[in-house]
Amino acid sequence: MSQPADLKFLIVDDFSTMRRIVRNLLKEIGYANADEAEDGVAALSKLRGGNFDFVVSDINMPNMNGFELLAAIRAEPTLKHLPVLMVTAEAKKEDIVNAAQGGASGYIVKPFTKATLEEKLQKIVQRAQTAQAA
């Protein structure tokens, strides 16, 4: 994994407003390197083509939802190591459990704060770096 400030993020959400918000927040937190995708299909295509370090994904999206994207990432040898943070309005316990069992690295329910996003990102990045060092 790259140094935290150099991490390349892929923001996946079907709402352009939310993509912009997450992108701006990441920039404020210190992660300026980010790209966007409007659904799971576009995300997978970009992930296969670029050296991404981190995925921040919505769940409820057309074509390929966040759960399907997560499963596809975990099933692909070159992508399965990627941290995937779910940022979604789906607040059902069942969905949260499904995401965790599907290999999500974190789960944030919308609406959320900058502090929440920062805290989750730090935890995931630290965990990934520890795992890499081990």
Partner 1 sequence: MELDTKTPQDMDALFEAAAMAPPTTEKPSQATVIPIRVPANVVPIAEAFDVFQRIGSITRKLHDALQELGYDKQIADAVQSLPDARTRLDYIARLTGDAAEKVLNTIDAIQSEQDKTDAAAEIVKARVAEFAARAVGADTAVADALREFVDDYLVSSSKQREQLTEIMLAQDFHDLTGQVIRKIVAVAAALEEQLVALLLEATPPEKRTLVEHSGLSGPVVDAKGRSDVVTDQAQVDDLLESLGF
In sequence order, what DSSP letters do the residues of 47-104 get, joined into one string? HHHS---EEEE-SS-SSS-HHHHHHHHHHSTTTTTS-EEEEES---HHHHHHHHHTT-
Contact between 129 and partner 1 per CB under 8 A: no
Decide if residue 20 touches partner 1 (CB under 8 A): yes
Report, in Å, the least distance between residue 1 CB and partner 1.
27
Strand order in the sheet with 34-37: 34-37, 9-12, 54-57, 84-88, 106-109
Binding segment for partner 1 (CB under 8 A), chosen from 41-49, 64-72, 92-100, 107-115, is: 107-115
If one asks whether residue 91 binds partner 1 (CB under 8 A), the answer comes out as no
Kindly tell me which residue out of 28, 50, 119, 127 binds partner 1, with binding defined by CB under 8 A: 28
List residues binding partner 1 (CB under 8 A). Answer: 13, 15-18, 20-21, 24-25, 28, 60, 89, 110-114
